Structure 1
């Protein structure tokens, strides 16, 4: 999967990273804490600034010095709403897998233009993962929504944040 975009969940008031597969048939939202989102933004801004100079960031310099490269970025698991991620490095012909924060894994994916590997179980469990166009709402749900819209007082619209 690749990082498709960023959004703000207006209901949960949390930042969300949207992952999509190459065919855009599967979508996986990853909610981040405000701290992780802020660290991602700071890292991306810093990375953009350092790209304009000859200096590398510490991790890039360390990887180059060790003669290793990032081989794979993965979202491994999700338990109780907490996402676990890992980064695999190829070092001296051996794969080394490191557990990292989700935001760090996503920043590395962006910096190295790598796809994000997602455990298939997570896609199966995600309600948004399938891009099928089948009916998600029943006729009763549709009728309730139409009734809600018909009975909506325009004066109430200013009471709710958009």
Structure 2
């Protein structure tokens, strides 16, 4: 298992949200990220939790945490356990009065809950090996970088470039 942290949420070229996970320790000589495509609502929830912010009303992951607190249970860890035909699978390990329980979960829900509870996030070695990408490929330009690049284009453009 590879322990990871949430680096952030990005949007791919098709405007689909992606959560990027980075190992806490180097897996090999090359820095790598694990991208997991998620839904827009889950992306919003993960971003809010990663920033330590609170939504005006409880989101689903906030409700899950409140329910666990009310039941005197805690999240021990979450694991991205496998990938099958491009679909990631995860598990949430709970500890409470009923003992240890392992629940099937979508990775986005497991990650959203882990961020709210401070639980560790793990990825199976096989999943990381199969689906991780080099850090360079995961680089996401900030809005400031995109704006600076566009401004540079405008400064360098020559009206004659557009004549037929």
How would you bin the TM-score normalised by the shorter chain?
0.5 to 0.7
Distance in 1, matches of 2:118 and 2:21, equals: 14
Of structures 1 and 2, the one with the larger relative CO (CA 8 A, separation 6+) is 2
Structure 1 moving runs of 4+ over 6 Å:
none
Distance in 2, matches of 1:90 and 1:50, equals: 29
* Unpaired segments ≥5 residues, structure 1: 52-56, 132-153
Instruction: Sort the Cα spacing of 1:108 and 1:42 in 2 relative to 1 into closer, same or farther, 3 A.
Output: closer
2:100 aligns with 95
1:116 aligns with 121
TM-score (norm 1): 0.63
Post-superposition CA distance 1:76-105 (Å, at most 9, x none):
111111111111100237220111122211
1:71-110 mapped onto 2 (5 Å cutoff): 71-92=76-97, 94-110=99-115
* Unpaired segments ≥5 residues, structure 2: 136-157
CA RMSD of aligned residues (A): 3.1
TM-score (norm 2): 0.63
Q: Which structure is larger by alpha-carbon Rg, 1 or 2?
A: 1
Q: How many correspondences in the alignment?
A: 125
2:6 aligns with 3
1:18 aligns with 20
Distance in 2, matches of 1:42 and 1:30, equals: 15
